[in-house]
Amino acid sequence: MENQKVQKKQCDLKTDLNLLLECLKYQMDCPVSQKEALITIYSICQQNSEASEYFREIGGLMFINDLAKSSAHCIVKEAALFTLGIIIESNVYCQQTLCTSALFEDLILFLINKDSGVNLKRMSVYVILVLVSNNKSGQTYVRDTGCISLLLQLFRTTLSTSEMNLSDENTNQCYQLWSSVCSTLCACVNNPQNEDNQNICCSVFPYAKEWLESCTEPEIVRPICSFVGLTVANNRRGCPLPETFLALSVAGRLCVKPFSTLSCCVLELTKAAMGVALTKYHTVSELLKLLSNDTLDAGEKISIILTIGHCTEVCEENQCELLQNNGLPLMIQVLTESQDEELNKAATFVLQNCKQMSKLTVTALKITE
């Protein structure tokens, strides 16, 4: 009986999708009806891989793809692109079907067309996002077509640092587009890691630095921190400028909490033998200031202390800065007061880096034994 119910439900769903596709085809002169049909299609296909796959099999996926390009009505274009994104996101075969240089080139045209509204651009970026997510082929197409360069341009130009009133409707729409661009750039460089795309994305670090220095809004700083962190992860060539790293430190002191990004950046700088370059920016003292923040949880403290550990691991200048700013007593305090094993390991890591510089460290290490 249960199987019969499931089969009937699947049969009804397929019937609905067939009827909705026919509605799309025969309502070309009625954009409102087409938009309503598209809304119903994506509500059916959302998080339903089987429905999305069936819709692809009956030709619906390619029809909507063509509709997004050919329709003269903006509301239909927007709804068509959003529906494509929903279907691609729910089914990997649909992603593979549409992951072509031709679609990326079409999306580029939407983004550069002066008549495209902010919402149409946002829908275009959403489709790019789902095409590149967990998809090496999509990451390659986004680079080879020049689409990633356009995304970086949008990252630089969509928002103005002097106009950050997110309660304003127009500004908020631009912010939504900018935020979508940040998410898409993150997907371009990560899962799987894509070093070529990482290296291209490094070009906007100076702009990221400006944002971090001029903005305190978490809605701005957090996406930038995620983007910078993923761009430098496991990539020595993708190290951020020391100035960008310092801006991250400033953002952290403003309690926006980009601590995992800080740690990631310093680790890559250290791997690339650039840790010494951070000394003139007093990075260790900046991190010690962050550590004094009473609002930090254990995970945030671990990230900061690990970052200090990466700074001091291969750089005597940074070790001296730690000593001069009472960093060792602070590490000892962590060891004596914390019951968190990972936090204690992080503090021990810092002390071990400096054990040749102070007898105090030897005493501190005995505490952990």
CB 238 within 8 A of CB 199: yes
More confident residue, 355 or 107: 107
Q: Give the residue from 71, 98, 125 where a domain finishes.
A: 98
Q: What is the mean pLDDT of residues 330-356?
A: 87
Which residue's entry shows tokens 């789902």? Answer: 130
Residue 75 lies in a domain: yes
Question: Residue 303's pLDDT is what?
Answer: 78
Question: Residue 248's pLDDT is what?
Answer: 62
Q: Which range has the worst mean pLDDT, 2-6, 97-101, 207-211, 331-335?
A: 2-6
Residue 264 lies in a domain: no
Q: Give the residue from 40, 69, 98 where a domain finishes.
A: 98
Q: Give the residue from 54, 81, 98 where a domain finishes.
A: 98
Question: Residue 361's pLDDT is what?
Answer: 45
Question: Residue 289's pLDDT is what?
Answer: 82
Residue 201 lies in a domain: no
The Cα–Cα gap between 298 and 300 comes to 5
Q: What is the mean pLDDT of residues 159-164?
A: 70
Tokens encoding 343 = 């936090």
Question: Residue 272's pLDDT is what?
Answer: 52
Residue 31 lies in a domain: yes
Q: What is the mean pLDDT of residues 221-246?
A: 73
Question: Residue 285's pLDDT is what?
Answer: 84
Q: What is the mean pLDDT of residues 8-15?
A: 86
Q: What is the mean pLDDT of residues 201-206?
A: 89
Question: Residue 266's pLDDT is what?
Answer: 61
Measured N-to-C along each axis, helices 298-313 and 327-337 cross at an angle, to the nearest 10 degrees, of 140
Question: Residue 230's pLDDT is what?
Answer: 84
Question: What's 311's domain CATH number?
Answer: 1.25.10.10
Q: What is the mean pLDDT of residues 189-216?
A: 88
Task: Please give, one letter per residue, the 3-state secondary structure of the chain.
Answer: CHHHHHHHHHHHHHHHHHHHHHHHHHCCCCHHHHHHHHHHHHHHHCCCHHHHHHHHHCCHHHHHHHHHHHCCCHHHHHHHHHHHHHHHHHCHHHHHHHCCHHHHHHHHHHHHCCCCCHHHHHHHHHHHHHHHCCCHHHHHHHHHCCHHHHHHHHHHHCCCCCCCCCCCHHHHHHHHHHHHHHHHHHHHHCCCCCHHHHHHHHHHHHHHHHHHHHCCCHHHHHHHHHHHHHHHCCCHHHCCCHHHHHHHHHHHHCCCCCHHHHHHHHHHHHHCCCHHHHHHHCHHHHHHHHHCCCCCCHHHHHHHHHHHHHHHHCCHHHHHHHHHCCHHHHHHHHHHHCCCHHHHHHHHHHHHHCCCCCHHHHHHHHHHC
pLDDT digits (tens, 9 = 90+) for 247-295: 665 555 544 455 566 666 666 555 555 555 566 667 788 788 878 777 7
Kindly indicate the confidence band of residue 364, based on its pLDDT and cuts at 50, 70 and 90: very low
Residue 79 lies in a domain: yes
For the entire predicted model, the pTM comes to: 0.81
Residue 223 lies in a domain: no
The Cα–Cα gap between 87 and 187 comes to 18
Number of domain units in the chain = 2
Q: To the nearest whole number, what is the mean pLDDT of the chain?
A: 84
In terms of residue numbers, what domain contains 92?
12-98
Residue 89 lies in a domain: yes
Which residue's entry shows tokens 């950046």? Answer: 265
Residue 210 lies in a domain: no
